[in-house]
Amino acid sequence: MLVSGIIDIMLFSFLFITTGFCLVLYDNIYVNQSKTCIFTYYTKRWLLMIKKSGNTVKVILLLLTILPVMSCSLPGKKQNVGSLITTAYVSDSGISKDNTGSNSSNTDSTAGKSIKANDGKTAAGPVTREKFRIAVVVVDAGHGGKDLGTYYEDIYEKNINLSIAQRLGSLLENEGVKVIYTRETDIFVSLLKRAKIANEADADLFVSVHNNKMPGNTGYRGSETLYAKPDNPSRDNMSSKKLAKNIQKELIRTLKLRDNGIIYDPELAVLHHPNMPSVIAEIGYISNKSDREKLSTREFRQKAAQALSQGIIATLKEMGAIKNEKGKWGLPGK
């Protein structure tokens, strides 16, 4: 009798373990079905078998065994197959858990879908993330080659312009901006060619570096920025006037020269032929002794380049530019 009871107990234990395993398989394969039906079915069969056996010990053991099974098998929140696949996919994507053990959300840019692990669901449709491209700025060193620009004795505007433009380009590149030069050496480049370079590069901004002269008035000094409306603007989210304001503000703040403001000049070809916001930054007056002495120093030319760079970056930000993970300034793609 004792041996028979032990065998029965072992048999019932095996049945409960097997049934629990079946419930797990059932839960993972037929996940759209409720667990109530299968649980009720097996419970009725077990109770019928116990009733026939009449063994009190087996009833107690059965109750002790069925309680944990009930706690794991009661009807709960339904899932769908898609959610299970999503969970596995998110895990492979490197979803991390915080201190509370809850999953954080993650975005898979390759698949173009946003996957949230906290609720095991996928977002419908593609991510509404704009494509970004690296910001492009054309740096134009005024004059060059046979075109000397203004001069005083052996101080030539073309050389000062090139020195500031090269420094400006280096600063912008260090900031993560793509720079296109109209000239990098002492060569002549026509005004139309400069505009063509900017348009073919599909640049975002065009900044021409110059210095000035006031015939018959050596007392005139200071900085000014010229702008005009482009003939065929390809971008309407930023005007040349705003670019001029930003650059003029930084020139005065950094160089501490007299503020001659921004000037609208529609006759300058280098301003209205480029199809993007364009300005001419007149850093100082070579005809003025004070400005000329400052422009002759490397330190001042470096400060001028820094002021131009800050004005350009401020404008790019207003255009919606942001820095990516590689430190590059990006703008919304066309």
Same domain? For 147 and 115 the reply is no
131 contact partners, CB below 8 Å, separation of at least 6 = 332, 333
Residues 33-60 have pLDDT tens digits of 444 444 454 555 555 555 555 555 555 5
The residue among 73, 6, 69 whose CA lies nearest residue 35 is 73
- Residue 26: count other Cβ atoms within 10 Å of its Cβ: 17
Same domain? For 157 and 283 the reply is yes
Give the burial string for 220-258 (b: 16+ CB within 10 Å, else e).
Answer: bbbbbbbbbebeebebeebbbbbbbbbbbbbbbebbebb
Q: Is residue 181 part of a domain?
A: yes
Local confidence band at 324 (pLDDT 50, 70, 90 cut-offs): confident
Q: Is residue 8 part of a domain?
A: yes
Same domain? For 22 and 139 the reply is no
CA separation for the pair 262, 288 (Å, rounded): 20
Q: What is the number of structural domains in the chain?
A: 3
Q: Is residue 16 part of a domain?
A: yes
Ramachandran bin of 216, using left for φ above 0, alpha for ψ from -120 to 50, beta for the remaining angles: left
Residues 121-173 have pLDDT tens digits of 333 433 334 577 899 999 999 999 999 999 999 999 999 999 999 999 999 99
Across the chain, mean pLDDT equals 75
Same domain? For 255 and 319 the reply is yes
Q: Is residue 79 part of a domain?
A: no
104 contact partners, CB below 8 Å, separation of at least 6 = 95, 96, 97, 98, 117, 118
The residue among 190, 229, 198, 208 whose CA lies nearest residue 281 is 208
Q: Is residue 213 part of a domain?
A: yes
pLDDT (0 to 100) of residue 193: 97
pTM of the model: 0.61
Same domain? For 56 and 176 the reply is no
94 contact partners, CB below 8 Å, separation of at least 6 = 106
What are the phi and psi torsion angles at 308 (to 5°)?
-65, -45
Same domain? For 187 and 322 the reply is yes
Same domain? For 250 and 317 the reply is yes
What are the phi and psi torsion angles at 18 (to 5°)?
-65, -40
Same domain? For 35 and 158 the reply is no
Residues 2-44 have pLDDT tens digits of 555 555 656 555 555 555 544 444 444 344 444 444 445 455 5
User: CATH number, domain at 198?
Assistant: 3.40.630.40
Same domain? For 149 and 289 the reply is yes
What separation in angstroms does the CA of 177 have from each of 30, 218, 329?
A: 55, 38, 6
pLDDT (0 to 100) of residue 331: 87
Same domain? For 148 and 252 the reply is yes
Q: Is residue 14 part of a domain?
A: yes
Same domain? For 253 and 175 the reply is yes
The amino acid at residue 324 is N
The amino acid at residue 211 is N
Highest mean pLDDT among 63-77, 84-98, 244-258: 244-258
Q: Is residue 169 part of a domain?
A: yes
Residues 189-222 have pLDDT tens digits of 999 999 999 999 999 999 999 999 999 999 999 9
Q: Is residue 221 part of a domain?
A: yes
Same domain? For 229 and 263 the reply is yes
Domain region containing 89 = 84-96+103-122
